Structure 1
Amino acid sequence: MRTIFLLGTAAFALAACGGGAGPETAGSVAPPTGQGDVHSFVKPTVAKSYAAVGGVQHYEYQTRSDRDTQTAQLYAADASTVRNSGITINYDPRDAIFDVSINRAPATVANSVRFQDPNHRTAFGGNNEPQVGVPPTAAEKQIQYLEAGSQTGDAVFPAGAYPVGTPGYKRTLNTFFYQKPGTTTRYVTYGGFVRNDFTTERVTETLYDAAGQPLVDASGKTVTRQYLRNGYRLDRAVFAWGEQTTASAIPRGGTGTYNGDMLATMVYNDQLDANAGSPTYFQWITGTNQTVVDFGAQTVTTTLNGVVDGPAFDAFTTGAFSMAAGSQFSAKGTATVDLSNVGGFVGRFTDVTFRAPGSTVDRALTIGGSSIDGAFFGPAGEEIGAGFRIVGGTPDQRIDILGAFTGKK
């Protein structure tokens, strides 16, 4: 059991300034015909709203400072479709303002956040960094981060873990992140959203004997104990958005191979049958996508490969988790192009495996349900973007993977 007793004041910037993020670049009108590399998604000129496609997760639970389990667990998730998004990104290049709205009722997520203060931009390195729980990044990926939120009360911030607050502590922090358009794709990009909501309260509990009567001490005073109860409400989302190709401009014959990036958020807890209070943590998967489209046959095959990152912990649970950091992830799926009914392509996964670090053996995941929902982007379908979900099918396990991928020919 890992317990942290040090509670005190910690300096905290609600809107950290991280230098090097550069101007915001996602949002604008469709590219003019015949303009070559000059188009508005990389260099926006007017405000525009985008409907994204991807997945959303919500997990909430409580801990107490004298135990090492998670209680009051509630998990929900949902994958959107191309025509039923519920995820909107508005960007105004005149004032460098992002409005991010995520409303997916099946996932119990309803967040709308405006990022307008220049100090909302942040980056890794220095005293102010993105909050714990955002995905890892590499410099060549050019991931941009914006954060906004509020805090009441004091806390300490253990490395790699969620904050530990004093009684009365409340903190809500929203992080929107995205790959700068033009980095790997020019007409579509991917990003995500992290919301961490924490509360801390002191609880006084009466102790009872075996007969259910309150315990009393020698003086006749009721025996009590105190502990800190911490509440966690955690939202994760990953999605793709951009300048969709009109149906008439999508090729009707030939094939195209698209290569790009993949990002997913995952819960993986296969220990609930042995211990109903075993902790569940979010983990990120970063990697690549290769998708082959046969436009004549209207078929799509997708292969995802990635590496699992370690989770962010809370202060009081065991810290035990099943999927080791550095594990390899692989998924293969098929889809069908259906522009009339779904506005892009839709399909399922057929094979999902994990391989532990140092192992040569792939462990297959039992798939309970899955989805791939994607669209074409650019003047003539030069790029793709999609959201996906993979739900584990083994009883007494909480395994769910939601993500997005992009690619270009």
Structure 2
Amino acid sequence: MRATLALLSLPLLSLAACGGGGDGVNSLGTIAPPGGGGIGFGNTPSGDAPDHFLDVSAETTFDALGSFQSLTIDPQTGAQLYRGNASTTSTPSGTISYNPRDGIFVVTVSDSNAGVSREVRFQDPAHRTDYDPNVQPVREAPDLTGFNYLAAADGSTFFYQRPGTTTKSVTLAGFVHLEADDKGFITTYEHGATVFGDPTSFLQVPIKGTGHYDGDFLATMINQESFDTGGSAPVFQWLTGSSSVDVDFAKSTVDLALTGKVGPGFSGDLPVNDATLNVPSNATFNATGSATMAALAAGFSGKFTAASFTAGGTDIPIDFTSVNPTTSTAGASSIDGRFYGTDAAELGGNFRIVGGIPDQRIDIHGAFTGAK
């Protein structure tokens, strides 16, 4: 049984006014820990990390190779402006700086195509937070095992996978920023996923042989029913899971496979009942794509060949067919990444899948890592 990706009608009454953070997110269960493949939704226990790229002696700035999206809503008219963009290795989304002396992170996102321009300095020790149980990030931020969380008073939450969990020279990170008007109506939504780390010099990238990399992925999705029917609201969901990458250095080819699960839906930072979504929490996500390595760049770029969800035994393909004479679909996809660490021991990148069905808003922005 197959169904075209679309949301069921989302009347305002379907938005639950309670939950979030703790129990709401934890209801997803636990995906296998990174050692067994994939990020897990659940608690965020602390632990000492081994030597890694953030084990520095002075302030260090890293490029953020990310994919970001933004949505602004006029509270009076309801008019919406949505933008999204996946960066490339030559034009990153911004930077992430870390000062080990003071424990300060500065997250700078400067992506006009995505509609995100923000610099957030996480300096207050109280910015460090978790889901256990009282002080929590915004509800739209996923509760992930092995991640640290920083939440600022301006509505920004930055969370990153602790280096050494899966990879040592690069790691995953997510970003959420919400703004509300004086009546509490959220008018600005910004989400993104990125990788940052210590990139490999092109002189250290092998020119022969093959390599297999296993890692994790993190993605944010906006999913909104056809505007023709009305009655629906934009819903944001996080996707997490494992990545598998095969590289043929001699042929300069990269094959990427993603397997994971979908998190709960949120609209207006309120949880959405799974019964109103045809991509509910715990639905599975699978995608495959390929890329070509760029000479002298220690990186690669490409696109996806297939992507779909499965919920309740029903296959839900994402129609991202590009413009062609035989269909009204006008979708797109991209994969951009590079190698990290000594001798290309690890890799990381971002991806985007844009649904192409007319009058429907489906857009997935993500990032992935891998280690040999």
Change (3 A) 1:19 1:117: farther
1:2 to 2, 5, 13: 13
> Residue in 2 aligned with 1:176?
158
**Contact between 1:2 and 1:317, CA under 8 Å: does it hold in 2?**
no
1:405 to 338, 346, 368: 368
**Contact between 1:79 and 1:402, CA under 8 Å: does it hold in 2?**
yes
Q: Indicate yes or no: 2:173 matched with 1:191.
A: yes
Any idea what SS the aligned residue of 2:113 has? helix
User: Which region of structure 1 is more displaced relative to structure 2, 107-116 or 316-325?
Assistant: 316-325
1:129 shift after superposition: 1.3
The Cα offsets for residues 6-58 of structure 1, whole Å up to 9 and x where unpaired, read as: 9xxxxxxxxxxx996578x8xxxxxxxxxxx85x5152222110001110010
The Cα offsets for residues 175-215 of structure 1, whole Å up to 9 and x where unpaired, read as: 111001111101110101110111134xxxxxxxxxxxxxx
> Residue in 1 aligned with 2:318?
365
1:50 to 55, 62, 68: 62
Any idea what SS the aligned residue of 1:380 has? helix
**Contact between 1:279 and 1:318, CA under 8 Å: does it hold in 2?**
no
**Contact between 1:281 and 1:321, CA under 8 Å: does it hold in 2?**
no
**Identical pairs, percent:** 39
Change (3 A) 1:386 1:317: closer
Residues in 1 aligned to 2:195 and 2:233: alpha-carbon distance in whole angstroms: 30
**Contact between 1:335 and 1:372, CA under 8 Å: does it hold in 2?**
yes
User: Which region of structure 1 is more displaced relative to structure 2, 255-264 or 52-61?
Assistant: 52-61
**Contact between 2:200 and 2:298, CA under 8 Å: does it hold in 1?**
no
> Residue in 1 aligned with 2:117?
110
> Residue in 1 aligned with 2:264?
310
Change (3 A) 1:365 1:19: closer
> Residue in 1 aligned with 2:141?
134
Structure 1: runs of 5+ lacking an equivalent: 7-17, 26-36, 65-69, 150-171, 202-228
**Contact between 1:3 and 1:316, CA under 8 Å: does it hold in 2?**
no
Counterpart mapping for 1:218-237 below 5 A: 230-237=185-192
1:59 to 68, 71, 75: 71
Change (3 A) 1:315 1:344: closer
Counterpart mapping for 1:175-324 below 5 A: 175-201=157-183, 230-275=185-230, 278-314=232-268, 320-324=276-280
**Contact between 1:62 and 1:231, CA under 8 Å: does it hold in 2?**
no
RMSD: 2.5
Query: Could you tell me the TM-score, scaled by structure 2's length?
Result: 0.81
1:127 shift after superposition: 1.4
**Contact between 2:138 and 2:269, CA under 8 Å: does it hold in 1?**
no
Change (3 A) 1:175 1:354: same
> Residue in 2 aligned with 1:211?
none
The answer to which structure, 1 or 2, has the higher relative contact order (CA under 8 A, 6+ apart) is: 2
Structure 2: runs of 5+ lacking an equivalent: 1-11, 18-42, 321-330
**Contact between 1:196 and 1:233, CA under 8 Å: does it hold in 2?**
yes
> Residue in 2 aligned with 1:163?
none
Change (3 A) 1:404 1:19: closer
Letter in 1 for 2:152: A
1:339 shift after superposition: 3.3
Change (3 A) 1:245 1:19: closer
**Contact between 1:63 and 1:316, CA under 8 Å: does it hold in 2?**
no
Change (3 A) 1:82 1:315: closer
Any idea what SS the aligned residue of 2:264 has? coil
Any idea what SS the aligned residue of 1:329 has? strand
**Contact between 1:83 and 1:343, CA under 8 Å: does it hold in 2?**
no
> Residue in 2 aligned with 1:382?
345
1:299 shift after superposition: 0.4
Residues matched between the structures, number: 323
1:362 shift after superposition: 2.3
Residues in 2 aligned to 1:352 and 1:148: alpha-carbon distance in whole angstroms: 35
**Contact between 2:44 and 2:147, CA under 8 Å: does it hold in 1?**
no
Q: Indicate yes or no: 2:295 matched with 1:339.
A: yes
User: Which region of structure 1 is more displaced relative to structure 2, 51-60 or 306-315?
Assistant: 306-315
1:86 shift after superposition: 2.8
**Contact between 2:218 and 2:241, CA under 8 Å: does it hold in 1?**
yes
Q: Indicate yes or no: 2:148 matched with 1:144.
A: yes
Query: Could you tell me the TM-score, scaled by structure 1's length?
Result: 0.74
1:321 shift after superposition: 3.7
Residues in 1 aligned to 2:46 and 2:136: alpha-carbon distance in whole angstroms: 12
> Residue in 2 aligned with 1:226?
none
